[in-house]
Amino acid sequence: MNRLTNLLNNKTTDLLSVYFTAGYPALDSTVGIINALCKNGVDMIEVGIPFSDPMADGVVIQNSGTVALRNGMTLSLLLDQVKEAREDNPDTPFIAMGYINPIMQMGAENFFRRAKESGIDGVIIPDLPFDIYMSEYKALSDRYDLPMIMLITPETSEERIRLIDENCEGFIYMVSAASTTGARDRFNEEQLGYFRRINDMNLKHQRLIGFGISNKVTYDEACRYSSGAIIGSQFIKCLASNPTPEAAVADLLTKISRQ
């Protein structure tokens, strides 16, 4: 069974998914970061594909992508590094997250084939329109058993949310606010109302909340209103301010009071 599917079937609360940009802070950082995250019990890992125009990302992740590209990171190298990391980490789900352009350059089928061979368990493409997913990518997602995880925002219509729930696998990525990524101290009442509204829809797929998870307050609230939290910008900051991946992971877990 797909590792992501297996995880979601066996754990429905307090899931922690951590994002990092492959190639940051150094070209050869990927394996060490994955090893540190797996060793410390992170439930799943999102490996970011650096891109020159990351429109949904805030300054922290944008900057990490710029550094990664300057370091020489490519999608092909990323998949090679993930494959190496998979050898020592057989159980933790790995998700490839990135924009559509690098995937189109590699070729969609080639990307799905290589991702599967590398040990990837799911794919997130924030700028992939749902109709294009249905017409061009769903068959590949099904063929290679790589769930396409779609994002919803406070502006996503109920009709579209139910279409995503019906036609995509894995989990639903709930973007916490209509803004770019970035750490925040707490969610406001409008955001909490959005979380409650989605809860009331009784969707069949689990949901994880991302964008703005940075501390115990936001982590706990995300876990209260969904199956768990996705952390990106805060972990990138931890990588920048700590000497090793192990220290960065420990710093992150301390910040959200998860030990």
User: How crowded is residue 37: how many other Cβ atoms within 10 Å of its Cβ?
Assistant: 27
Name residue 206's amino acid: Q
Q: Give strand pairing partners of 18.
A: 45, 231
Catalytic residue selected from 57, 121, 169, 221: 57
Task: Give yes or no for a cis peptide into 54 (omega within 30° of 0).
Answer: no
Active site residue 145: no
Catalytic residue selected from 14, 43, 46, 80: 46
Contact between 133 and 163 (Cβ < 8 Å): no
Active site residue 80: no
Of the candidates 36, 40, 19, 74, which has an alpha carbon nearest to the alpha carbon of residue 211? 19
123-128-133-138 Cα dihedral, nearest 10 degrees: -10
Catalytic residue list: 46, 57
